[in-house]
């Protein structure tokens, strides 16, 4: 018996979209792949050139085999990256892409270093140069990808052309979300919504059946479909319905808050659909990795940053009478109270100053109620503003990390009187150690409200992995350098 599918109506997203017949839409995949390949080649070559010069600077002029091998190495990297699905890497997510890049890059350098060791007499390949090049590539290759994506996305030149299919209100929300962040890799061109969902039946929008959708998408170079579903039972039907229309189908659950399926992976087991949920917070080996990262990071930070710590302490002492450090009770793991240590950035009578200031400025009181922060806080003295601008005031918390009260990455340690604002999600927050940096610091920092920061903390806990920590640490460095969202 022939399956009869519901007809659809076509809705064009009203969000600044380029014409679907444009040059980009016709060549979207080629543009994305070629731009990433060029970025990777450039960053690999730059890493090699810097590495060779660093080696010469330290040991004197020596073998230049690495520079001779750069073209071949660049080709090797792009071929392996391609085999690992890193072109154009749409749909993998930034953390997963970062993980694949790190593992793949390190594996290639391991092979190259082994080859250089075996063939040293023939190639004279400097192993120190290879080590330098590897370390630089781990930073420059992801940075180059982020930069090229950002540039192209700002000019509406990134993302796979896609059709959004499902209920009209949900689809338009999805389309706006993707248009707000083209770096995610989806470029909405049209929305198709089932005709039978139009309750008044008087729509003037042309109705499309499945054959017409197929023709429309082919004519407008749309090979990706984003389909909104309501129940898991629909998956088999949706696959059959759209399998001849789209090369790639992305399924999005209606009204999903993004956390329902956290930690879920889908696969096949003995001919059956398999869903697997992993709770990384219960993985003892993963937790040991996190503790090792904390120990290495805190010890290295305290040693390398000791001159900055000393100068900061001196400046505070010279400008503002009172102690250099400020200790405050915050909620830690399992609800235990911890005393975090920071450089003091406020006057000693800060609380009295705040009460008086808020009483005299109603607008500032509203800002405080929303953000639990003030953009122009009168309690902060001049040196304190400088320390906060560069996040130096947080550095003494490396001691809290060293003794196991905090982690390098985690939810921000909340004040004891703020726990009610987390509501039911507090039980998730206290499952992990609070961190010096976290999701909200790399997502707008002081531009985010307190409730948004709580959502970031919950998202971190539910999706935690060691690679997410590493990604956040790398992004934090960039945020601090650019002062993105700082006070």
Segment 327-365, tens digit of pLDDT:
989 999 988 999 999 999 888 877 787 777 777 777 777
Domain segments of the chain as ranges: 8-17+156-256, 28-154, 284-345+380-482
Beta-carbon contacts of 411 under 8 Å, excluding residues fewer than 6 positions away, are: 429, 432, 434, 435, 438, 457, 460, 461
Q: How far is CA 273 from the centre of its chain?
A: 29
237 Rama sector, left if φ>0, alpha if ψ -120 to 50, beta otherwise = alpha
Residue 340: is the preceding peptide bond cis (ω within 30°)? no
Give the integer Cα–Cα distance in Å for 396 and 351. Answer: 22
Give the integer Cα–Cα distance in Å for 68 and 77. Answer: 16
Task: Calculate the dihedral angle through the C-alpha atoms of 276, 280, 283, 288, rounding to the nearest 10 degrees.
Answer: 150
Q: What is the pLDDT of residues 48-86, one digit of tens each?
A: 999 999 988 888 776 677 788 899 999 999 999 999 999
Per-residue pLDDT in tens (0 to 9) along the chain, 487 residues: 445 566 677 776 554 445 444 677 888 889 999 999 999 999 999 999 999 999 888 887 766 777 888 999 999 999 999 999 999 988 788 888 999 999 999 999 998 888 766 665 445 677 788 889 999 999 899 999 989 998 998 888 898 999 988 888 888 888 888 888 888 889 888 888 876 544 444 434 455 667 778 888 888 888 999 988 887 778 778 888 888 889 888 888 866 655 555 566 777 767 777 777 777 877 888 899 999 999 999 999 999 999 999 999 999 999 888 899 989 899 999 889 999 999 998 888 777 877 777 777 777 777 777 766 777 777 888 898 899 888 899 999 999 999 999 999 999 888 887 777 777 778 888 889 999 999 887 876 556 677 777 888 888 888 888 989 998 998 888 777 766 544 4
Question: What is the second-level CATH architecture of the domain 8-17+156-256?
Answer: 3-Layer(aba) Sandwich (3.40)
Nearest to 374 by CA among 342, 360, 455, 481: 360
């Amino acid at each position: 018996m022939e399956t009869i599918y519901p007809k659809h109506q076509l809705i064009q997203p009203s969000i600044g979209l380029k014409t679907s017949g444009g040059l980009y839409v016709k060549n979207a995949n080629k543009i994305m792949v070629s731009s990433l390949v060029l970025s990777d080649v450039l960053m690999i070559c730059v890493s090699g050139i810097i590495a060779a010069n660093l080696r010469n600077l330290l040991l004197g002029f020596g073998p230049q085999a690495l520079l001779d091998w750069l073209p071949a190495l660049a080709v090797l990297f792009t071929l392996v990256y391609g085999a690992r699905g890193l072109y154009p890497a749409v749909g993998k997510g930034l953390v997963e892409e970062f993980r694949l890049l790190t593992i793949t890059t390190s594996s290639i350098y391991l092979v190259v270093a082994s080859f250089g060791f075996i063939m040293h007499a023939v190639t004279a390949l400097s192993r120190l140069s290879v080590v330098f090049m590897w370390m630089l590539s781990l930073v420059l290759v992801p940075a180059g990808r982020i930069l090229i994506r950002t540039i192209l996305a700002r000019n509406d030149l990134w993302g796979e052309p896609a059709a959004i299919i499902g209920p009209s209100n949900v689809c338009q929300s999805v389309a706006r979300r993707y248009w707000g962040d083209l770096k995610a890799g989806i470029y909405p061109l049209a929305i198709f919504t089932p005709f039978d969902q139009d309750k008044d039946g008087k729509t003037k929008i042309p109705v499309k059946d499945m054959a017409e959708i197929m023709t429309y998408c082919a004519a407008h170079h749309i090979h990706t479909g984003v389909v909104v579903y309501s129940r898991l039972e629909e998956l088999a039907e949706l696959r059959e319905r759209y399998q001849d229309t789209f090369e790639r189908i992305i399924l999005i659950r209606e009204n999903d808050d993004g956390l329902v399926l956290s930690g879920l992976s889908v696969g096949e087991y003995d001919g059956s659909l398999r869903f697997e949920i992993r709770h990384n917070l219960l993985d003892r080996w993963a937790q040991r990795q996190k503790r090792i990262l904390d120990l290495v990071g805190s010890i290295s930070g305290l040693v390398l940053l000791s001159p900055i710590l000393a100068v900061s302490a001196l400046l505070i002492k010279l400008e503002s009478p009172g102690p250099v450090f400020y200790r405050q009770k915050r909620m830690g793991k399992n609800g235990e109270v911890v005393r975090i240590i920071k450089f003091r950035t406020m006057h000693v009578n800060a609380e009295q100053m705040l009460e008086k200031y808020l009483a005299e400025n109603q607008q500032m009181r509203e800002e405080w109620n929303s953000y639990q922060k003030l953009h122009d806080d009168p309690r902060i003295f001049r040196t304190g503003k400088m320390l906060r601008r560069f996040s130096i005031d947080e550095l003494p918390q490396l001691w809290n990390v060293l003794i196991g009260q905090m982690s390098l990455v985690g939810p921000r340690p909340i004040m004891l009187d703020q726990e009610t604002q987390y509501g039911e999600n507090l039980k998730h927050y206290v499952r992990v150690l609070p961190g010096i940096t976290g999701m909200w610091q790399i997502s707008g920092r002081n531009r985010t409200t307190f409730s948004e920061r709580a959502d970031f903390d919950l998202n971190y806990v539910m999706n935690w992995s060691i690679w997410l920590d590493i990604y956040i640490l790398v992004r934090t460095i960039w945020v601090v350098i650019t002062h993105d969202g700082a006070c």
